[in-house]
Amino acid sequence: MIVRLLGAVLCGASLLACTSSAPQTAEPGSTVRLLAHDSFLLSDEVLASFTAQTGIEVQVLAGGDAGSMVAGAILAAGAPTADVLFGADNTLVQKAIDARVFEPYEAMERGTITPEIADYLDTDAVTPIDYGDVCVNIDDAWFEREGITPPASLEDLTDPRYRDLLVVQDPATSSPGLAFLLATISRFGDSWPDYWTRLRENGVKVAGSWTDAYYSDFTPAGGERPLVVSYATSPPAEIVFAEGTPPARPSTSVLTDGCYRQIEYAGVLAGTENPAGARLLIDWLLSRRVQEDIPLNMFVFPARSDAQLPQVFTDFAAQVEKPEQIPADQIAMNLDEWLARWDEILGR
């Protein structure tokens, strides 16, 4: 039986000294509490399979957006009200690790993780579960109607041909907005403020959230901006969630230059009341059945290299060969300064 508990939950704990990759046992009939951001979703039958396999009930605790969830975990470190945290991505996770939120644990099948995903962060405090690429999405139908060639690079977005066509999200309030900011810092280095100055002068619009940008400002939704910061997997979502008969192919595409790779992690919360159950849950999240359920529920890629992707992903999800990334420790060290500088440039 899976119980979903709504409402923000604070969690955290002090670091324990032990690490284990041995098979875990937990008492059947016990409960393990999974704190996840609001975008966490798996099929009901897959969720139920954990209880069927272990006899352990799972409570899914909704922690709000990822930023709020991680901030709460850090503030409450030492007194967790959950056993496992899912959804701290690589823009946030280092602060949680530094705050000793997690108990080290190496997942049983960690060796199945795609190497470049596994190698991004050298730690056993958390386990990569999925990843996605934040990219500029293009309304191809709009550009075809207007007879304008779509942009092909980050640099193109500052070209006067694309004045007043781009909407991004506020990096202080939006995960994709933050990822896009980090992509520009990765690409342009110390000159990233000059790039954002040129974007501002070229009429970039800043929305408060991905939902506002994609469903209000983006032209397919009736907005006035045919360029939006979204995901490499947004075109498959367009097919899956189409009303009526799905189109043969999406009307949008992805600018694969300058995408930022987000990796989402799960970790055992130090101080958990059910450490064995928590470790079993980490192993289960990395199991092939769960990994293959992730794409069509959360529209991200599974971390496991042998997980089979749905056809709509292989057909229409953009493949980003060289994503932008910044080491997690550098993000943790500099993020506040970067956000303050971005605010100054955009006049916010």
C-alpha 49/C-alpha 222 separation (Å) is: 41
Look at residue 23 in the predicted model and tell me its pLDDT: 47
How much is the pTM? 0.88
Asked if the model's pLDDT at residue 3 lies above 60, the reply is no
C-alpha 252/C-alpha 222 separation (Å) is: 14
* pLDDT tens sequence across 28-59: 668 999 999 999 999 999 999 999 999 999 99
Look at residue 53 in the predicted model and tell me its pLDDT: 94
Tell how far CA 234 is from the center of its chain.
Answer: 13
* pLDDT tens sequence across 281-296: 999 999 999 999 999 9
Under 8 Å between Cβ of 51 and 57:
yes
Under 8 Å between Cβ of 264 and 96:
no
Look at residue 292 in the predicted model and tell me its pLDDT: 98
Of 29 and 208, more confident: 208
Q: Which of 3-17, 194-208, 314-328 is least confident?
A: 3-17
Average pLDDT over residues 225-246: 94
Rg (CA), the chain: 20
H helices of 164-256, in order, are 175-188, 192-201, 210-212, 234-240
Look at residue 13 in the predicted model and tell me its pLDDT: 32
Q: Which of 275, 274, 308 is nearest to 291 (CA)?
A: 308
Under 8 Å between Cβ of 126 and 263:
no
Structural domains of the chain, ranges and CATH numbers in brackets: 2-130+263-314 (3.40.190.10), 133-261+317-346 (3.40.190.10)
Asked if the model's pLDDT at residue 278 lies above 60, the reply is yes
* pLDDT tens sequence across 56-68: 999 999 988 888 8
Look at residue 235 in the predicted model and tell me its pLDDT: 96
Q: Which of 210, 265, 230, 233 is nearest to 90 (CA)?
A: 265
